[in-house]
Amino acid sequence: MATTIGLKCKLYRGEAGSQANIEMKNVSNVTLNLEKGEADITTRKADGWRMFAATIKEASIEFEMLYDPDDADFAAVFNAFLNDTPLAIFATDGAGSGLDCDCVVMNVSQDQSLEEAVKANVTLKPTDIGGNSSRAPKWVDASSPESGSGSGAA
């Protein structure tokens, strides 16, 4: 398996309820967080060990963008935050695999370091609020023929 460099990865946005198809260029340091909740299933049969079962999956997408109100990507994200409007998002490895979902913008904080450009730190989380269809989050696997690209933009 070839090593993937972060520069090759892509983040797309679009209108909630549809597939994301606008590549976001004003982003850096994207982190796709995937986690599962847990249920304690410990019994005496575990011989003194606590045991768990995985439950509900969770996701969040965090990234930085230059604070630029004239930039279309920044404006889309910031307006979605201010107006509680979801966005279609596809976070891909650049080869077409990744998370495809509608998201709400949960955080847009500013980093105003003295010797750096002002950046916005953004956090997105999956939602179905305001979407035009039931777009539950899904993992798109580009190597799977039945999965498709997820965004039509990979």
Domain CATH for 48:
2.30.110
The domain tally of the chain equals 1
Domain-embedded: residue 154: no
Range of the domain at 123: 6-140
Domain-embedded: residue 77: yes
Model pTM?
0.86
**Nearest residue to 11 (alpha-carbon basis) of 110, 109, 93:** 93
Domain-embedded: residue 150: no
Domain-embedded: residue 153: no
Structural contact between residues 61 and 91, judged by C-beta atoms closer than 8 angstroms = yes
Task: Provide the residue type at 118 as one letter.
Answer: V
E-strand spans in the chain?
A: 10-15, 22-23, 28-40, 52-66, 87-92, 98-111, 119-126, 138-140
Letter string b/e over residues 13-42, b meaning 16 or more CB atoms within 10 A of that residue's CB: bbbbeebbebbbebbeebebeeeeeeeeee
Structure tokens at 64: 């930085």
One digit per residue, pLDDT tens: the chain, 154 residues? 578 888 899 999 999 999 999 999 999 999 999 999 999 999 999 999 999 999 999 999 999 999 999 999 999 999 999 999 999 999 999 999 999 999 999 999 999 999 999 999 999 999 987 655 668 899 999 887 554 444 445 4
Domain-embedded: residue 123: yes
| Terminal alpha carbon distance of the chain | 19
